[in-house]
Structure 1
Amino acid sequence: METSATAVQTAELFDAEEFRRQFPPLEKMVHLASCSQGALSTQLNSSLSDLTSSLTDSGAPWGLWMGEVEKLRERFARFINADPDEIAIVSSASEGAYQVASSFRWDERPGILTSALEFPSVGHVWRAQAAQGSQVHMISDRVDALNAVEWESAINDSLSLVSAPLVSYHDGARPPLREITDLAHTAGARMFVDAYQGAGVVPIDVKELDCDYLVTGSLKYMLGLAGVAFLYVKDGITSERSPELTGWFGRVDPFAFDPELVDYPTTARRFEAGTPAVPAVYAANAGLGILERVDQAQAYEHVSRLSDQLAAGLSDLGIRMSRPADPEHRGPQVAIYDEDPARLSQWLFERGIVTAPRGEILRLSLHYYTTPEDIETALAALRQFRSVR
C-alpha cells in the first residue's frame, strides 16, 4: 500500500522550514497548542474559500461535496496505511467511540479495560455502557499505565474491549500500545486506540499497531477544524449489534432515499450516521494535503529533539514537569505544573505564545513547524513570568 509520502507523486516533500512557511500566523506568534488546535495554514484558508465559491457558483453542489468526503476518506486511509473501506467519517472521537461501544453485546464478556491516560470523553462513553451491562476496569495511576506488566495483570477473558490512547492528552505520555494490543488479543478482547493527541505528528501504521479500532479527528495536529473525525475499523471485524446511532450515510446507498430500508454496509461505513460537516471536510482535506508532503518519521524526530530542548530549559528554570522518564514513552508535548495554568496561559498569550491549559497542567505541544527559536522564546517568557510573579 502507498505511504502518505509516495501518494504525492509529483510534489516534493516539505522540510521543516518549508512546512512552517505554510502557516503565515507563525510569523507573529509561537504556537505551542497543537494538542488543542493546529495552526492556521494558507491551505485551510483557501479550502474554505473553495467551499464558499461552490455555494456561490452552484447553490447546492452535493456531488462536489460528496467527492470531497470520499477524497478525505481515501487520504486518511492512506495516511494510516488502511483501506478506504476501513474508514468511517464521523463527527467527533466521542461519536466514534460510541459507535464502537454500542456495537458490542456485554452479556458474556462485560469487561472494558481503560486507564488514567484516557481522555475523559472516551472514558465517559465506556462508562455509559453500564446501562447495557458493561463493567469498566481501570489502571488508575498514569505512571503504572505506561508499564505493560500492569496491563498484563489487568487483562483477562472477561474483557471484550481494551482501550488506550496513542498519546495521553494530559502530558503527552505514550503507553506501549503494541504490547497492550497483543495482550488484549491473546485474551480474546479487541483493542481500541484514541490517536487524537498524536495523529499528524506521531507516525501511525495500523497494520503495525494491529489495533481493531482507531479514532482521531481533523483538528489538533492534523491541521483542520472541529467537526470531522475518523473511525478505523479493522478489515473483517463484524458488529455483534448493528449501530443504533445511524442515518442516511449509514446505508448501503445513501441516495436511495428509502425510509423503510435500514441496511448496513459490511464496511466501516455502517458506523456513519448523518450528513458530514462539509466545511470541516474541506478543512481536513487541506490539513491532510499538507501532511502528505511530510516524512512523518523525520517530522517526529524534529519534534522529539525540540521537546528535549524544551524540557532541558524548563529543568534549568526549576519548573516542575509532568513528563515520562523513559524517552520511549514521551509524546509531542511537554506539560508543566502551575498553581493557575489558565492565568499563565493568558499571560503567555499576551506575549504572543499560544499554549493549552488543562486542570493543573499547562501543555506546551510541538509540531513540525516549531523551531528552536520558538522554544527559546517560550523559555525566556517563562523565566520572566517567574521573576515577576
Structure 2
Amino acid sequence: MSRDAERFRSHFPALSTMTYLASCSQGALSDALSDALTEFQHSLLELGDPWQQWLERVGEARRRFAALIGAHIDEIAIVSSASEGAYQVASGLVWTPGDSVVTSDVEFPSIAHVWLAQRQRHASVRYADTVGGFATVEGYDRAIDDSARLVSVPLVSYRHGQRLPLNEITTLARRRGAQVFIDAYQGAGIEPTNVGRLDCDYLVSGASKFLLGIPGVAFLYVRHGTRRDLDPQLTGWFGRVDPFSFNARELDYSRTARRYELGTPPVLAVYGAVAGMTLLSTVDQQALAVHITRLTGRLHRELTDLGEQIGSPASDESRGPQVAVRDDDPMRLASYLTARRIVTSPRGTFVRLAIHYYNNDADIDAVVRALAGYRSRHRR
C-alpha cells in the first residue's frame, strides 16, 4: 500500500477493527464526515436558524461536484436521489407513440422504474440484450433505433461491477439522434467521470457510496443547451429564478440546471457530501485508479482460484471497483462475513465486494480466508 493510500486510510477509524467492502452500498465513515455532521449539529446549537451558512454549504457542494465531473456550476441541480434526477429528465420530454427509451438489465432498478413509468405517457422501453449478464455494444446497437429519444446507461453496473463501454454506446445514440443519460452512482469519485469526454446530456450520482457522504442528496448534471420539451411539473421554490422572491402568483424557472430543484435542500446530507468530496480532492486520481484496479484484480484471481463463481469481468478494462461472488444464499454468506467483522453488500444472487482507496491487501487476505472457511462448512 502506498504512503498516499495509507494516509487516506487513516481518515477512517473503523478500519482498524473491520474489513470494509461495502462502498457500493455506503461508503465507510471518515473522520471528515464525522466532523461535518457534528458541525451541522453545532450550527443549530450555536446559531439556531443558520440558513445563510447552510446555503453557502449547498453552493459549495454544487461547486465541488461540478469540478469533479468537469462541468460548469450552472449545469448542476441538487436533488434528493438519483431516481428524482432521472424523473426530472424523463418528465421534461414529451413522449409520443413510437418514442422509446433504451435501458438494460444491468441498470439499477430504481432508474429503470422511472423509464418504465413513462409508458403511461406513450413511451416504449427497449432493453439492450446482455451476454452472460454483461451489457454489450452490440446489444445497445440492436436496441437503439430511430425511435430512441433517450439512452440510459450506468457508468458501472450495481449488480456485478461491469464498467460499461460508454463511448461506443454514446456514439450509437448520437448517430440515431438520442440523448444520453448516465447513472454514475457506482463510480463517481473513483472512476473517470468527465462529462466532456463522456459526451452525455445528463449524468446523475448520489453522494453516499464512493463519494463518501450519506444518503439524502444527489446531483443532476444537465448539459448547457440540452433540448427539453417541458418545464418541470415537480418543482418548488429552489427551482425559481430567485427562490427568495416569495411570489405565490408567479412560476418562473431558473435559467440554469437549478430549474430541476424542488423545495428545501437536504442540508445534513449536503454537509456529508462536501466532506466526502473534499477528502477525495486530496487524492491523486491516477494513483487511486491503479490501487483499486490492482486490488480488484487480485481479489478476482484469488477467489477464482478458490473455485468461487465470480460474476464480475475478469479484465481490468471492463471491471469497475467491485467483485461480485455468486452464492445460493447471499444473505447467509454476508451474515457469516459480518460476524467476522467483514462488511459486504449482498444483492440478488451476489455478495458484492467493493474496493475503495482505503482498502488494502490485508482486506483481500481477510475476505479470501473467510470465504475459504465458509465453503469448508457450507458446500454449494
* TM-score in same-fold range (> 0.5): yes
Structure 1 residue 203, shift from structure 2 partner: 2.0
Q: Confirm whether residue 303 of structure 1 aligns to residue 281 of structure 2.
A: no
How many pairs does the alignment contain?
A: 377
Match runs of 1:311-330 below 5 Å: 311-330=300-319
Tell me by how many angstroms 1:126 deviates: 0.1
The reply to whether residue 105 of structure 1 matches residue 99 of structure 2 is no
> Offset of 1:142 from its aligned partner?
5.2
Contact 1:68 1:281 in 2 (8 A): yes
1:36 to 25, 33, 47: 25
CA contact (8 A) 1:200 1:221 kept: yes
Note if contact 2:102-2:144 (Cα within 8 Å) is conserved in structure 1: yes
Distance in 1, Cα, partners of 2:134 & 2:311: 14
Alignment of 1:23-62 (within 5 A): 23-62=12-51
TM-score (norm: length of structure 2):
0.97
Provide the residue aligned with 2:354 in structure 1: 365
Residues 69-125 of structure 1: CA distance to partner in whole angstroms, max 9, x if unpaired? 000000000011111100000000000000000000111761101111100000000
Query: After superposition, what is the alpha-carbon deviation per residue over 1:167-213, rounded to whole angstroms, capped at 9, x for unaligned?
Result: 00000001110111111111110000000011121121110001000
Residue 364 of structure 1: how far off its partner (Å): 0.3
SS at match of 1:327: coil
Supply the distance in 2 between the matched residues of 1:53 and 1:153 (Cα, whole angstroms): 55
1:16 counterpart letter in structure 2: A
The question of 1:81 aligning with 2:89 is answered no
The Cα of 1:141 is off from its aligned counterpart by 2.3
Which of 168, 182, 186 matches 2:171?
A: 182
Residue 184 of structure 2 is aligned to residue 221 of structure 1: no
- Larger deviation, residues 321-330 vs 255-264: 321-330
Residue 145 of structure 1 deviates from its aligned partner by 5.3
The Cα offsets for residues 280-333 of structure 1, whole Å up to 9 and x where unpaired, read as 000000000101111222201110100011011101211111022443211100
Q: Is the 8 A contact 2:98 2:122 kept in 1?
A: no
CA distance in 1, matches of 2:270, 2:3: 23
Alignment partner of 1:170 is 2:163 = no
For 1:360, give the aligned amino acid: T
Question: Counterpart amino acid of 2:244?
Answer: F
Letter in 1 for 2:322: Q
Which of 100, 116, 133 is equivalent to 2:122? 133
Inter-CA distance 76–275: structure 2 relative to 1 (3 Å threshold) = same
Q: Quick one: distance in 2 between partners of 1:311 and 1:298? A: 20
- 1:39-96 CA distance string (max 9 Å, x none): 0000000001111111011111111100000000000000111111000000000000
Q: State the shift of 1:144 in Å.
A: 7.2
**1:321 counterpart SS class:** coil
Q: After the TM superposition, which residues 331-346 of structure 1 pair with which residues of structure 2 at under 5 Å, given as runs? A: 331-346=320-335
Partner Cα distance (2:331, 2:68) in 1? 34
Aligned residue number for residue 136 of structure 2 = 147
Aligned to 1:90: 79
List structure 1 runs of 4+ shifted beyond 6 angstroms.
none
Residue of structure 1 aligned with 2:182, choices 177, 188, 193: 193
Aligned-pair identity (%): 51
CA RMSD of aligned residues (A): 1.4
Distance 1:34 1:327 in 2: 19
Aligned pair partner of 2:248 in 240, 252, 259: 259
Structure 2: give runs of 5+ residues left out of the alignment: none
Verify the 8 A CA contact 2:11 2:32 in the aligned structure 1: yes
Secondary structure of the equivalent of 1:162?
A: strand
Counterpart CA distance in 2 for 1:95 and 1:14 is 39
Task: Check conservation: 2:20, 2:28, Cα contact below 8 A.
Answer: yes
Distance 2:133 2:265 in 1: 39
Distance in structure 2 (CA, Å) of the matches to 1:41 and 1:306 = 21
Which letter does structure 1 place at the counterpart of 2:181? F
Whether the 8 Å contact between 1:248 and 1:273 is mirrored in structure 2 is: yes
The one-letter amino acid of 2:345's match is: A
**2:110 is the alignment partner of 1:121:** yes
Whether 1:385 aligns to 2:369 is no
Mapped partners of 2:154, 2:3: distance in 1: 28
Which secondary structure state, in structure 2, belongs to the residue aligned with residue 299 of structure 1? helix
SS in 2 for 1:88: strand
Residue type at the aligned position of 2:340: R
1:64-79 alignment runs, 5 A limit: 64-79=53-68
Out of 210, 215, 220, the residue aligned to residue 199 of structure 2 is 210
Matches within 5 A, 1:227-246: 227-246=216-235
Alignment partner for residue 279 of structure 1, among 258, 268, 272?
Answer: 268
